[in-house]
Amino acid sequence: MSINSRNKGAAFERQIANALIEDLNLKNPVKRILEQTRTKELPDLMLGTWCIECKAYGTGAEPRPDWWDQVIASSSGQNMKPALVYKFNNRPIKVRILASTLNKNIKNNLVTLDLLWPDFIQIILELFQEDIEMHEKNYQV
């Protein structure tokens, strides 16, 4: 990975961390997991039980399969919810999640949903308040 792509990736992670703080009205920071550069299967960010992988890429419209594989690996075995936040140049930020995260009746973990960023935020606010509370509680001094 070149220095420029690493810097672009880190900048996008910071952008998403800041957007989570602002859009969810968090009191505590969403910190980048810096160990993820040295240790496999760690997410870029965490919010409660959400493992969040962030990818910014120049051209394209659909995330690469290995990006999704990466967030699945970081969330598996820990009862965590995977979220792939991705953005291509001149396109809106999108988030891929498992459909079963929204509806437990969907048993097939190959079914995914791609959401626009504002829709993902609204879903977190309406359905996953416990993750916001967990985040805020874990960072209290």
Instruction: Give just the sign of the alpha carbon dihedral 77, 50, 43, 62.
Output: positive
What domain range includes position 15?
3-98+105-133
Question: Does 22 fall in a domain?
Answer: yes
**pLDDT score at 34:** 55
Question: Does 15 fall in a domain?
Answer: yes
Give the whole-angstrom CA distance, residue 18 versus residue 122.
Answer: 16
Question: Does 66 fall in a domain?
Answer: yes
Question: Does 73 fall in a domain?
Answer: yes
Mean pLDDT of 65-81: 89
Identify which of 140, 141, 129 has the alpha carbon closest to the alpha carbon of residue 48.
129
**pLDDT score at 3:** 46
- pLDDT: is 87 or 9 the higher one? 87
This prediction has a pTM of 0.89
Phi, psi of 58, deg, nearest 5: -65, -70
Question: Does 93 fall in a domain?
Answer: yes
Give the whole-angstrom CA distance, residue 40 versus residue 53.
Answer: 12
| DSSP conformational letter for 19 | H
Total number of domains constituting the chain: 1
Question: Does 12 fall in a domain?
Answer: yes
Give the whole-angstrom CA distance, residue 83 versus residue 63.
Answer: 12
Identify which of 58, 57, 55 has the alpha carbon closest to the alpha carbon of residue 69.
55
Share the mean pLDDT of the chain: 88
CATH number at 48 reads 3.40.1350.10
Residue 132 has pLDDT above 80, yes or no: yes
Question: Does 139 fall in a domain?
Answer: no
Question: Does 17 fall in a domain?
Answer: yes
